[in-house]
Amino acid sequence: MHHTRPFQLARRAVIGMMAASALTPLHGFAKTGSSAEALRALLEQSEAADAALDPLRAARNGGGTGGALFVDPLSDGYGATLRANKVRDLAALREIDRATLSPVDSIAYDVFDYKTRQMLALFDSGLFAVQRKAPLNPSFGLHVEFPDFLSGGAAPFATVRDYDDTLARIDGFVDYMNSTVARLKEGRAEGYLQPKIIVTNILAQVDAMLALPVEKSPFWSGVDRMPDTFTPAESARITDAFRTAIDDKVYPAYRAWATYLRRTYLADAPDAPGLWAMKGGAALYDWNLARHTTTTRSADDIHMLGLSEVARIRGEMEKIRIEVGFAGDLKAFFEHVRTDPRYYYKTPAELLARFEAIEAKIWPAIPRLFHNRPKAPFEVRPLPALGDQRGTGYYRPGPPDGVSPGILFFNMSMLNTRPIPTLETLTLHEGIPGHHFQLTLAIENADLPPLLRHGQATAYTEGWGLYAESLGPELGMFTDPMQMFGHLDMEMLRAVRLVVDTGIHAKRWGRQQAIDYMLGNTSMAPRDVVVEIDRYIAYPAQACAYKIGELKFRELREDAAKTLGTAFDIRDYHHQVLNTGALPMEVLETKIRAWVASGGGRA
């Protein structure tokens, strides 16, 4: 007898949902109620359609999955449905009278318009099809993100249904792994090939995953957390099912990647690391620059901005070198910070204690700069999976319950590459008042539509994180000159990114040239520099967004202070830039300049 897998049922459900979401007309919204009602209805239906295509995001945000547990983003149905959804969305938006909307709804309208047009440009240019044929991403690919979802606390493991849902998600993940090989074959046949270094790094991750015993696999983590309220029969069934899923499905899928990449794809992959070397790559890089920076700045312009910022920050670093009495030049000072044991902890416990002490120092000063703080607490936890294969870490907000913490998942491997002088700055960026404030305040604001509560805009999000670092002196931080050097070192990293990202993808820099440039301008450990450069190779343009966003936050603040004079209150400014979630830079600028023109204030 043939037994249909749970994921097959879920997949049939989502295909039906995707078809329905693509066909449901929204044009009646503007005719049956106010413009505000029409906009909110459109945003709600669009969000539901997006969530159906990305149920893991919905699960992370504390929402339901709408019937699907995992959707393969490389499937034909995914792409066709996504485009149909966006065509429908834009047509419906055009029927809404923006002039009659409230300020918040006007911003939501502008963000929705911007993002919808940007996504349609990806399809209409043919670049959606191009990027699907080059899907490998060692930094943020689902082959590492999905294990993190299971082992890092985002996946629910409270009920028997949760475990059965996870097994279905694993089946869907395996389908995605198989689709990736199929897309790679398609790309190879048509000349869309990713560089050797990406393939090599993926193979290292795959090999590391396959080297783990089943019981040490991140896919097994739910079994280790199984509630003791389950009956012995339930526990035994679930344990056996997870062992079978990992042994018979997950690991064979990773082995299929290893076999194809090592035996076939690697030999044809180009040595050049930049998108310029891939068929269609130059246009794809331009689109990614626009996507991540939410500006129209060219690669040449961004490259020159980076060179200017590097020169400025080097001047500030020289002052610190002289202040601490270091006799050598800046290059020697970098090496001193890389190698002197006094700048590194020996145990994760010491590192975590330092993070807690920094957090305790920041909180008392927060009311000087902010009217509000998140209800949710902030925590630092070890990065869940494959730490030796990955970068420093990342922040992830909790669900909007005001109780679950926002978490910085920090890479505790190789502690001799995690310098103490950078920890104050890192806490400001990832936690307080950086991502924890920016993301969690929006999530906790139930008055915002989901588009703004959970919105993504790299230049805004990462630009705010970098801007938050610069608030250190106003929050009583960086009183030690080495902590100030750590701050400059991290700012320098973001300036260097402008140079090397555009260098790699537009100016035909080699990988080693980019590595040498970063080593020559920061104190980062060589191993971390390599990880950073390889991240930019695999995820083009994203790294450019940090500095561009931060400079815009700083520019808008300075212009507001100059124009408003004694009426300027920094707490009001921060309230304005944070109270509508992550925005494209042009939408943010329009909002802040209108606020200034109206006389400022908290409203």
pLDDT by residue (tens digit) across 125-157?
Answer: 999 999 999 999 998 899 999 999 999 888 999
Poorest-confidence range of 16-20, 166-170, 226-230, 411-415? 16-20
Model confidence pLDDT, tens digit, residues 340-353: 999 999 999 999 99
For residues 471 and 55, the model is more confident at 471
Tell me what pLDDT residue 385 has: 57
User: Is residue 246 one of the residues assigned to a domain?
Assistant: yes
Res 12 pLDDT > 70: no
Res 61 pLDDT > 80: no
Res 65 pLDDT > 60: no
CA distance 492 to 486: 10
- Domain identity same for 116 and 152: no
Please count the structural domains in the chain. Answer: 3
Please give the average per-residue pLDDT across 182-188, as a whole number. Answer: 98
The residues, ordered by sequence, that sit 6+ positions from 101 with a Cβ below 8 Å of its Cβ are: 35, 36, 39, 109
Res 386 pLDDT > 90: no
Give the pTM. Answer: 0.86
Res 459 pLDDT > 50: yes
Tell me what pLDDT residue 63 has: 57
- Domain identity same for 298 and 166: no
Tell me what pLDDT residue 27 has: 44
List Cα–Cα distances, 580 to 268, 292, 452, 535, 560, in angstroms.
47, 19, 6, 30, 18
Tell me what pLDDT residue 283 has: 96
Please give the average per-residue pLDDT across 248-275, as a whole number. Answer: 98
User: Is residue 478 one of the residues assigned to a domain?
Assistant: yes
Tokens encoding 172: 């869907």
Tokens encoding 299: 């690669």
Tell me what pLDDT residue 64 has: 54
CA distance 592 to 594: 5
- Domain identity same for 96 and 163: no
Please give the average per-residue pLDDT across 446-471, as a whole number. Answer: 94
Domain end position, chosen among 104, 132, 160: 132
- Domain identity same for 66 and 197: no
Contact 468, 504 (CB under 8 A): no
Tell me what pLDDT residue 4 has: 33
User: Is residue 579 one of the residues assigned to a domain?
Assistant: no
Share of the chain above pLDDT 90, in %: 82
- Domain identity same for 208 and 328: no
- Domain identity same for 241 and 309: no
The residues, ordered by sequence, that sit 6+ positions from 438 with a Cβ below 8 Å of its Cβ are: 460, 461, 464, 465, 468, 578, 582
Per-residue pLDDT band for 56 (boundaries 50, 70, 90) equals confident
Model confidence pLDDT, tens digit, residues 327-337: 999 999 999 99
Res 101 pLDDT > 50: yes
| Pure H helices in 471-584 | 481-506, 511-521, 526-538, 545-564, 570-578
- Domain identity same for 97 and 126: yes
Query: What is the radius of gyration, based on Cα positions, of the chain?
Result: 24
Query: Per the omega criterion (within 30 degrees of 0), is the bond before 433 cis?
Result: yes
- Domain identity same for 201 and 258: yes
- Domain identity same for 336 and 457: yes
Measure CA 7 to chain center: 27
- Whether the CA torsion 458, 490, 497, 302 is positive or negative: it is positive
Beta strand extents in 36-115 (DSSP E only): none
**Sheet order of strands, 393-396 included:** 378-382, 406-410, 393-396
φ, ψ for residue 396, nearest 5 deg: -140, 125
Res 532 pLDDT > 80: yes
User: Is residue 382 one of the residues assigned to a domain?
Assistant: no
Contact 290, 584 (CB under 8 A): no
- Domain identity same for 104 and 163: no
Tell me what pLDDT residue 28 has: 44
Average pLDDT of the chain to the nearest whole number: 91
Domain end position, chosen among 66, 100, 132: 132
Q: Which amino acid is at 116?
A: T
Please give the average per-residue pLDDT across 197-222, as a whole number. Answer: 97
Model confidence pLDDT, tens digit, residues 476-517: 999 999 999 999 999 999 999 999 999 999 999 999 999 999
User: Is residue 501 one of the residues assigned to a domain?
Assistant: yes
User: Is residue 593 one of the residues assigned to a domain?
Assistant: no
Model confidence pLDDT, tens digit, residues 158-181: 999 999 999 999 999 999 999 999
Tell me what pLDDT residue 368 has: 97
- Domain identity same for 33 and 13: yes
Res 554 pLDDT > 80: yes
300 SS3 class:
helix
Tell me what pLDDT residue 255 has: 98
Tell me what pLDDT residue 23 has: 38
- State the DSSP string of 375-426: SS-EEEEE--S-GGGS-SEEEE---TTSSSPEEEEE--S-GGGS-GGGHHHH
CA distance 43 to 111: 11
Per-residue pLDDT band for 55 (boundaries 50, 70, 90) equals confident
User: Is residue 157 one of the residues assigned to a domain?
Assistant: yes
CA distance 67 to 51: 10
Tell me which residue range forms the domain holding 20: 6-132
- Domain identity same for 299 and 243: no
User: Is residue 551 one of the residues assigned to a domain?
Assistant: no
| Pure H helices in 507-525 | 511-521
Tell me what pLDDT residue 69 has: 85
Tokens encoding 457: 């805009």
Domain end position, chosen among 530, 546, 562: 546
Q: b vs e for 551-582, b when ≥16 Cβ sit within 10 Å of the residue's Cβ?
A: bbbeebbeebbeebeeebbeebbbbbbbbbbb
